[in-house]
Amino acid sequence: MDGIDFAICISLIMNSRVPYRQLAEKFNMSVNSIHKRIKNLVKLGVIERFFTQFSGLVHSFTSMVMFGTSNAIDVEEILPNLGNHECIYNVTQASSNLIYLHARIRSINELESLVSFVKQVGEVDKPNIGLIPELPDGAGPAIEETGGSGDRGLSNLDFLIVNSLKDNSRKLITEVAQEVRASTKTVKRRLTRLIEKNLVHFSIDWYPDKSNDILSIFILKLNPHLNLDKMNLMRTLRKQYGQNLAFSWVFSNLPNLMLVCFWTNTMKELQRIESSIKSEKFESVTATILLRGANYPTWQDKYLEAKIKEINANSN
């Protein structure tokens, strides 16, 4: 991938339903050029799926990152086993047998069993557990088990629309309307509402390990004596490294730790970043190179599947 390919991928991770014309304007390219680049990324396996999910405003959950060193002889072999847990949606193997896991738990009561699972299946003795800060106050679940009501209440049609888009977020409104047996006007109105209220999330299953690029996660331990503002520090890093800084994570329960994911074309670039990021702000800087990873279905997918079965059963 070149810089444009990478930037396109990041844009699609944020919103995989974004119009190609909008991407063309953003990168000062023709729509046809954008289409060709995305088609090639799909062909290479870098982009595997354009998916749609309900957001955290519909399903109340806590997002988290767990990481630690595995004692397994063959770490690659255990990745799918870790993905079998219904709360884990991404597992990534890094250098030195390090494993990163991204998960969503419905309640804090699920944390203990999840940690036990990772210790046993991943053979990680002491996993680090980072809880990602929650949504703003008031951003609770949009529905109840019965389907909910009020401004955020979801209708059966909303579930059918999301189900239609779950494996192809770029599907045309006319196709969705035909599948859910509703008018194009109605489907467009309902989907627009879901988007405006941030009840759905469009993204991609992204596999950068299918390219020749280097992705790395830096484990940054802040100097506890400096009382640094992590958000201000993150903004400074983004300004300093620009597009090379792909993702970042701060944690509510680990005040002196940050994870930062960098994208580079060469090892020399990565070495430059590692050298430049070291400063008195950090007690330690550990660079880990990502080797392979995979995305997995979770309880969110099972919930939608069960809801669709219920809707279909009641409609017969």
Q: What is the pLDDT of residue 60?
A: 87
**Residue 229 DSSP symbol:** -
Amino acid at 21: R
Q: What is the pLDDT of residue 151?
A: 38
Q: What is the pLDDT of residue 135?
A: 47
The stretch 288-304 carries a mean pLDDT of 96
70-126 per-position pLDDT tens digit: 999 999 999 999 999 999 999 999 999 999 999 999 999 999 999 999 999 999 999
Residues shown for the chain: 316
Would residue 66 count as lying in a domain? no
The stretch 185-192 carries a mean pLDDT of 98
Q: Is the pLDDT of residue 148 over 60?
A: no
Of 53, 51, 15, 55, residue with least CA distance to 143 = 55
Q: Is the pLDDT of residue 188 over 70?
A: yes
Q: Is the pLDDT of residue 316 over 80?
A: no
What's the domain range around 238?
208-294
193-235 per-position pLDDT tens digit: 999 999 999 999 999 999 989 999 999 999 988 888 898 999 9
In a 3-state reduction of DSSP, which class is residue 289? Answer: strand
Would residue 69 count as lying in a domain? no
Would residue 12 count as lying in a domain? yes
Would residue 168 count as lying in a domain? no
CATH number at residue 285: 3.30.70.920
- CB 119, CB 125: distance < 8 Å: yes
Q: For the chain, what is the mean pLDDT?
A: 92
Q: Is the pLDDT of residue 155 over 90?
A: yes
Percent of the chain with pLDDT over 70: 94
CATH number at residue 20: 1.10.10.10
Would residue 35 count as lying in a domain? yes
Percent of the chain with pLDDT over 90: 85
The stretch 123-140 carries a mean pLDDT of 75
Q: Which residues pair with 103 in a beta bridge?
A: 64, 88
Alpha helices in the chain (DSSP H): 3-14, 20-26, 31-44, 75-83, 111-121, 156-165, 173-180, 184-196, 230-241, 267-277, 299-315
Pairing of strands 245-250, 257-264: antiparallel
Q: What is the pLDDT of residue 147?
A: 38
In a 3-state reduction of DSSP, which class is residue 243? Answer: helix
Would residue 229 count as lying in a domain? yes
What's the number of domains the chain is made of? 2
3-18 per-position pLDDT tens digit: 999 999 999 999 999 9
- CB 215, CB 208: distance < 8 Å: yes
Tell me if the pTM is above 0.85. Answer: yes
Would residue 272 count as lying in a domain? yes
Would residue 19 count as lying in a domain? yes
